Amino acid sequence: VHFDYWSPDVSTLGLKLVNTAVDPAQEDIESPQTLELGTWVSVDIPLDDYAIDRSQITQILIDALGNTANLYMDNLFFYSAPPTEPSAAAPIPIIDAANVISIYSDAYTPITVSELPTEWSGSGFEEIQLEGNNTIKFFDLDFTGIVTDYGNPTDLTAMTHVHFDYWTADGTDLGIKIVNTAVDPVQEGLESFGTVTQGQWVSVDIPLDDLAMDRSQVTQILFDNLVADDASITVYIDNLYFYN
Residue 45 Cα distances to 31, 41, 187, 214, angstroms:
8, 13, 51, 54
pLDDT band at 225 (very low <50, low <70, confident <90, very high): very high
Q: Which residues of 46-82 are buried (b: 16+ CB within 10 A; e: fewer)?
A: eeeebebeeeebeeeeeeeeeeebeeeeeeeeeeeee
Quick check: 234 and 196 in contact, CB under 8 A? no
Rounded average pLDDT over 156-165: 98
- Residue 92: its pLDDT value, please? 97
Q: Which residues contact 196 (CB under 8 A, 6 or more apart)?
A: 168, 171, 172, 173, 174, 202
- Residue 140: its pLDDT value, please? 98
Closest CA to 236 of 170, 186, 177: 170
Average pLDDT, the chain: 97
Quick check: 127 and 137 in contact, CB under 8 A? yes
Rounded average pLDDT over 15-23: 98
Residue 171 Cα distances to 74, 148, 221, angstroms:
29, 26, 19
Dmax over Cα atoms in the chain, in whole Å? 80
- Residue 188: its pLDDT value, please? 97
- Residue 207: its pLDDT value, please? 98
pLDDT band at 218 (very low <50, low <70, confident <90, very high): very high
pLDDT in tens, 86-95: 999 999 999 9
- Residue 29: its pLDDT value, please? 98
pLDDT in tens, 36-95: 999 999 999 999 999 999 999 999 999 999 999 999 999 999 999 899 999 999 999 999
Rounded CA-CA distance 215/104 in Å is 19
- Residue 163: its pLDDT value, please? 98
